[in-house]
A and B are shown apart, each in its own frame.
Chain A
Amino acid sequence: MENKNHLEELAYIRSMMEQSSRFISLSGLSGIAAGTVALLGAALVFLYTEVMPFSQRKYYFEGVVREKWGMDYMTFFLLDGIIVLGLALSLGYYFSKRKARKAGQKMWTPSSIRLLVNFLIPLVTGGIFCLILMKKGYFGFVAPATLIFYGLALVNGSKYTLEDIKYLGIAEIILGLLGMWYVGFGLLLWAIGFGILHIIYGIRMYLKYDR
């Protein structure tokens, strides 16, 4: 009898510590949405460069001088990247907010702000890093570098939200490092990391936490 009380008490303490220090309203649907957007973004790049996945060894060298749809290579890449990032973040925000509202929790709490700050520091660093890479002409390293910095952002943020995010982050970092080595496969790995991994992870987290 007493045992049950103590057990309950410990469980209560643990859940309060957890809830007050982590943002747990992160929705699996956010991941699925971000992954879908990323796949569309990658598909656009494949169309633009007219290189099909798995056969893209050469386009980094040919593509630099290409112009299509009234845009040069760099403008197109930037625009595509910014639209994908913007859409993924807004959809992610939307689904998490919906989940928070359903659970009667607030979106902006000290822990969600901490999550955001810790997530954004590596991400913004990576964004600037990639802009410099592009400006200096190292196009082949851009896609893998976004994977690496995004992975670091996830690992860094995972302390303040569902811990599963950490493993997604590590997977992104590994894909990014592979892409640094096998330069021609950057975009393909990018599509796997941002598209497919997000969707798989999103479904897993949805089944685990959202229902």
Chain B
Amino acid sequence: MKHIIKSLNKAFDNRVRLGIMSILMVNDWVDFNTIKEQLGLSDGNLASHIKALEKNEYIKINKEFVGKKPRTTYAATGVGKLAFEQHLRALEALLNQNDKEKDSK
């Protein structure tokens, strides 16, 4: 049990970061506003969580200009995808384990 809890990733111990990673797992290069609207966040809130994920090298950033407007897009890195998958597996394992314990009681 303890072993599984350890494999839960601290970086994903937050709704916003979970949301960002979920979106980037199934989409390549998503822009800031799309993520913001999807998760219903403010600019500042999203930016701080993106910074945290970037620090872990779980997401990568691409800046470009569309006409005169800057456009920032994000994608999950290989490391990020792997870490997120592990986190998902740990969540599932925990659920299964708890179910089993309940059954045996």
Contacts and interface: CB of A to CB of B under 8 A. Distances in A.
A62 interface: no
Interface stretch (A13-21, A49-57, A74-82, A200-208): A13-21
B88 A20 contact: no
Interface in A43-84: none
B22 A13 contact: yes
Interface stretch (B49-57, B59-67, B91-99): B91-99
Interface string B16-47: 00110011011100100010011100000000
B2 interface: no
A21 B27 CA distance: 7
B91 to A, nearest CB: 5
Contact of B91 (A10, A16, A21): A10
Task: Give the most central of A12, A14, A20, A21: most B CB within 10 Å.
Answer: A20
Interface residues of A, number: 17
Given A10-B88, A21-B27, A110-B30, A16 B19 contact: yes
B69 interface: no
Interface residues of B, number: 20
B68 interface: no
B15 interface: yes
Contacts of A3: 94-95, 98-99
Contacts of A12: 15, 18-19, 22
B18 A20 contact: no
Interface in B55-105: 88, 91-92, 94-95, 98-99
Contacts of B22: 12-14, 16-17, 20
Given A6-B98, A12-B22, 18 more contacts: A2-B94, A3-B94, A3-B99, A6-B94, A6-B95, A10-B91, A10-B92, A10-B95, A12-B18, A13-B18, A16-B18, A16-B22, A16-B38, A16-B39, A17-B22, A20-B23, A20-B27, A110-B30
Interface of B: 15, 18-19, 22-23, 25-27, 30, 34, 37-39, 88, 91-92, 94-95, 98-99
